[in-house]
Amino acid sequence: MKISRRQLLILLPAAAVAWESVMAGTPEDAPNYKMTGHWWGMLVDIDKCIGCGNCVRACQTENDVPDGYFRTWVERYHVSDENMTEPEVISPDGGKEGFPVAQQDDKKYFFVPKLCNHCADSPCTQVCPVGATFISPDGVVLVDQTYCLGCAYCVQACPYGCRYIHPEKKVADKCTLCYHRITKGLTTACCEACPTGARQLADLKNPNDPIHAFLKTHSVQVLKPQMATGAKVFYNDLDGSVR
């Protein structure tokens, strides 16, 4: 077969479009969801968190997280104005039932909700020896629990302590950013249950997502930026004492 230059020029873009749709794929049961069209992250506004524990309870309900294990949890920091390197941090039962009443003293208090940072260059996926944990094309760090050996390399590799070995399944478990919800157009369980809007799901590939306006006008930070993990959970008004 001989293809003229004109025919080739017509065929190439068509082939590119076809290849794109082959590569994009769609998770089952979400026919309108294109993985290449999204890049998920989250915005956490420290100023708005009241430490009620709604997110922790919602996450455990939505994802059947066993008692004593956490895909998300809330920490309460108590920091003196002079010694930023030694904050008092508490997280009783992950903040699930709230926190003890605090009395005002000369130190400052604030809450820090934590969850998987869904890093773009995640250390946990790099160490998996069998390809059981991975970053999905839409930027969510997931675990294939039928493939996981339970070796816990990833649990050690995560600098944020966001993974655990499931006590019954004996495989790695972690926040999925409620992948079964976000692919259906819902927000995550923790964001749905947060009464103050301290947590907001963000689609960084969607130009109309309010995250872009927020990032442009606020000083946001990620946890442990020095580790260059490409963390996608952005914290507004994050204190320097947070580790």
Partner 1 sequence: MSVFKDAGHLFRFAGLFVLAFLIFLVVRHYVVPKSFGQYGHYRGDAIGEIARRPVKYAGHETCEGCHSDQADKKKAGKHAHVNCEACHGALAGHADDPSTVTPVLPDTAVLCAQCHRASAAKPKGFPQVDPANHYPGPPCGSCHQPHSPGMDAPKAATGGVK
Instruction: Report if residue 196 touches partner 1, rule: CB under 8 A.
Output: yes
Instruction: Report if residue 53 touches partner 1, rule: CB under 8 A.
Output: yes
**SS3 label, residue 196:** coil
Instruction: Report if residue 172 touches partner 1, rule: CB under 8 A.
Output: no
Q: Angle at the Cα of 242 (from 232 to 96), degrees rounded to 5?
A: 80
What does the block give as tokens for 181? 């919800």
Minimum distance from residue 156 beta carbon to partner 1 (Å): 20
Q: Give the footprint of partner 1 on residues 90-149 (CB under 8 A).
A: 98-99, 101-105, 109-111, 131-137, 142, 144, 146-147
Closest by Cα among 242, 238, 196 to 54: 196
Please identify which residue in 17, 21, 37, 61 interacts with partner 1, judged by CB under 8 A: 61
Please identify which residue in 42, 43, 79, 189 interacts with partner 1, judged by CB under 8 A: 189
| Residue 15, C-beta contacts closer than 8 angstroms, at least 6 positions apart | none
| Residue 50, C-beta contacts closer than 8 angstroms, at least 6 positions apart | 111, 195, 196, 198
- The residue type found at 15 is A
150 backbone φψ class: left, alpha, beta (φ>0; ψ -120 to 50)? left
Q: From 45-53, 113-121, 208-216, 220-228, give the range in contact with partner 1 by CB under 8 A.
A: 45-53
Instruction: Report if residue 81 touches partner 1, rule: CB under 8 A.
Output: no
Task: Sheet with 72-79: list strands edge to edge.
Answer: 88-90, 72-79, 108-115
Q: From 8-16, 153-161, 178-186, 206-214, give the range in contact with partner 1 by CB under 8 A.
A: 178-186
Instruction: Report if residue 85 touches partner 1, rule: CB under 8 A.
Output: no
Instruction: Give the residues lining the site for partner 1 (CB under 8 A).
Output: 23, 25, 27-30, 33, 35, 47-54, 58, 61-63, 76, 78, 98-99, 101-105, 109-111, 131-137, 142, 144, 146-147, 176, 179-181, 183-184, 186-187, 189, 192-197
